[in-house]
Amino acid sequence: MSKLFWLTVLAFAVAVYFPDSRAWLMEKAQPVVNPMLRTATLSEMDKIVGDLHTHARENLGRYPETRDFGAWLDAQYSGGGSRDSWDTAYQLEDLRRDNRMQIRSWGPDRQRGTDDDILVEFRREGR
């Protein structure tokens, strides 16, 4: 564990001291960094689902409209809460079947509809 720590410290120092090396280091670190960012994003999305249910309970069963979702997130969370770990806006979709909704992150490639998208589907409460 100690070797990994010192290797990380060295990589950080190189990135700070040699700015041109940042892109190369980030590319090499993706296999390690992306799983951690994915876990953080899933955790954040689960929290958002809980807060959406709380909002609905406090607003006669109404969930935020999909077009207002980003503004709702910004009002709920300070410091960029409407954005995932890759700085892409979360999306809310009303699936219109079985009272289901879905929160979506475009994932590391920041493109919709690819294999790395992260989806959290949930059922509206009280319907």
58 occurs within a structural domain: yes
105 occurs within a structural domain: yes
Residue 40 sits in which domain range?
A: 33-123
Tell me, what's the pLDDT at 70? Answer: 93
When divided into structural domains, the chain yields a total of: 1
80 occurs within a structural domain: yes
The first and second tokens of residue 9, run together, are 């410290």
DSSP character at residue 64? P
- How do residues 70-98 score in pLDDT, each as one tens digit? 999 999 998 777 899 999 999 999 998 88
Alpha helices, DSSP H, located in the chain = 2-17, 22-58, 69-76
Percent of the chain with pLDDT strictly greater than 70? 87
Residue 5: how many CA atoms within 13 Å on its side-chain side? 2
* Arithmetic mean of pLDDT over the chain: 86
Indicate which CATH number applies to the domain containing 92: 3.30.700.10
Our measurement of the distance from residue 12's CA atom to the centroid of its chain's CA atoms, rounded to an integer in Å, reads 24
14 occurs within a structural domain: no
